[in-house]
Amino acid sequence: MGLILELTHRCPLQCAYCSNPLTLDAPKSELGADEWKRVLDEAAALGVLQVHFSGGEPVARRDLVELVAHASGRGLYTNIITSGVLLTEAAMASLLAAGIDHIQLSFQDAEVAEADRLGGYRGGHAKKLEAAKRIREAGLPLTANFVVHRQNVDRVEAMIALGEALGADRIEIAHVQYYGWGLLNRSALLPMPDQLEHCTAAVQAARTRLKGVLTIDYVVPDYYAARPKACMGGWGKLFINVSPSGKALPCHAAETLQGFTFPSVRDQALADIWATSDAFTRFRGDSWMPDPCKSCDRREIDWGGCRCQALAIAGDAASVDPACALSPDHDLMRQAIDQARDASPALTPRRLAGV
């Protein structure tokens, strides 16, 4: 279904909830334009439908326009996932000419000073507002993505109002997923129960009010769930994620899993990686599942949840996702919320140099 190209880990922002790994790929290790083009060719031949240019900040790549044109020429649906701060008028015009189909623009908050503080980029919010206007003026569909957590979730109504005012077709209210930098900063970011209740009610009220006008997607935090999400729609089932240096990964956090060698698109064809590599087949389907997943009637709905979360929380990637109430480790999620309750709000910003 989808190919996610993390073109670069470079980014002008420093969001403490970033799901990129703590050890980011150095700029000199990034694939070159010709290598990315070959990956796009292989993806099109494999039957991939959509390509998501991501990062880091994909607009930081000087050859982004060239890559979008190449993907578009291969019949792939093209999406850019961007912070918008580098999306100048000239960049927008070139991307449009290259055939871009969709842009997802992320926001840190609806309140200017807080948005700039959380993104670690003064003036960033104003640039995003300009970028949103350009996207709409270009006639492209706009998804406004708001990542919410303890330090901004109380302003969810203002975020929805901002998305509406910008003319978004779709608003995403996405609670932080705790991987990479987000996991490092978890205690400062996890929402408290009353905040989650307020946010969920606000989203439901807005969905009713805006029915038929725009769509609101809502991603809830796993720490409050009774059943896990079908992470990536199932391991090795719908997506291939390629890191800036060319590692093919079943999900963005897969590099945290020990005991895996992730194949490089520099050395191996995408079709081989997809069909035969240990990295993509080990947790595919349900034959790998432990109890109680293997006899559970939800096993082909959530595919046992998230392997990276199972490792991060329970210490074993092959165990039941602790987000599931049937997991013997489920209580660890509640303990994380308890620990976060009185934790310091200080955040460690995401930096290329690491922690």
Instruction: Give contact residues for ligand SF4 (rule: CB under 6 A).
Output: 227-228, 292-293, 296, 298-299, 302, 304-305, 320-321, 324, 326
Report helix, strand or coil for 111: coil
| Nearer to ligand FES among residue 37 and residue 252 (C-beta) | 252
Q: In what side-by-side order are the strands of the sheet with 77-82?
A: 215-219, 170-175, 142-148, 102-107, 77-82, 50-54, 2-6, 239-242, 248-249
Quick check: 94 and 131 in contact, CB under 8 A? no
Q: Does residue 95 belong to the site contacting ligand FES (CB under 6 A)?
A: no
| Least distance from ligand SF4 to the Cβ atom of residue 236, Å | 17
| Nearer to ligand FES among residue 80 and residue 323 (C-beta) | 323
Give the one entry of ligand FES, ligand SF4, none that residue 304 binds, where binding means its C-beta sits below a cut-off of 5 to 8 angstroms depending on kind. Answer: ligand SF4
Report the residue from 100, 135, 231, 265 that binds ligand FES according to the rule CB under 6 A: 231
Give the one entry of ligand SF4, ligand FES, none that residue 230 binds, where binding means its C-beta sits below a cut-off of 5 to 8 angstroms depending on kind. Answer: none
Report the residue from 9, 52, 102, 307 that binds ligand FES according to the rule CB under 6 A: 307
How many Cβ atoms sit within 10 Å of the Cβ of residue 226?
A: 9
| Nearer to ligand SF4 among residue 133 and residue 227 (C-beta) | 227
Report the residue from 190, 251, 265, 333 that binds ligand FES according to the rule CB under 6 A: 251
Q: Does residue 176 belong to the site contacting ligand FES (CB under 6 A)?
A: no
Quick check: 80 and 58 in contact, CB under 8 A? yes
Quick check: 136 and 166 in contact, CB under 8 A? yes
Quick check: 40 and 70 in contact, CB under 8 A? yes
| Nearer to ligand SF4 among residue 84 and residue 322 (C-beta) | 322
Give the one entry of ligand SF4, ligand FES, none that residue 326 binds, where binding means its C-beta sits below a cut-off of 5 to 8 angstroms depending on kind. Answer: ligand SF4
Give the one entry of ligand FES, ligand SF4, none that residue 170 binds, where binding means its C-beta sits below a cut-off of 5 to 8 angstroms depending on kind. Answer: none
| Nearer to ligand SF4 among residue 80 and residue 293 (C-beta) | 293
Quick check: 239 and 233 in contact, CB under 8 A? yes
Q: Does residue 118 belong to the site contacting ligand FES (CB under 6 A)?
A: no
Task: Find the length of the chain.
Answer: 355
| Nearer to ligand FES among residue 121 and residue 178 (C-beta) | 178
Give the one entry of ligand FES, ligand SF4, none that residue 296 binds, where binding means its C-beta sits below a cut-off of 5 to 8 angstroms depending on kind. Answer: ligand SF4
Report the residue from 153, 156, 254, 312 that binds ligand FES according to the rule CB under 6 A: 254
Quick check: 46 and 271 in contact, CB under 8 A? yes
Which residues, other chains included, contact 315 with Cβ-Cβ below 8 Å and sequence gap of 6+? none
Token digits of residue 344: 């310091």
CB under 8 A, 24+ apart: contacts of 217-221:
217/170, 217/171, 217/172, 217/173, 217/174, 218/172, 218/173, 218/174, 219/172, 219/173, 219/174, 219/175, 219/177, 220/175, 220/196, 221/175, 221/176, 221/177, 221/178, 221/190, 221/191, 221/196
Report the residue from 253, 312, 323, 347 that binds ligand FES according to the rule CB under 6 A: 253
Judged by CB under 6 A, the stretch of 98-106, 128-136, 163-171, 302-310 that binds ligand FES is 302-310
> Phi-psi category of 354—alpha, beta or left, where left has phi over 0 and alpha has psi -120 to 50?
left
Q: Which residue has the tokens 């009610």?
A: 201
| Least distance from ligand SF4 to the Cβ atom of residue 326, Å | 4
Report the residue from 11, 80, 156, 308 that binds ligand FES according to the rule CB under 6 A: 308
- Element at 348 (helix H, strand E): none
Q: Does residue 293 belong to the site contacting ligand FES (CB under 6 A)?
A: no
Which residues of this protein are in contact with ligand FES, per CB under 6 A? 179, 231-232, 251, 253-254, 306-308
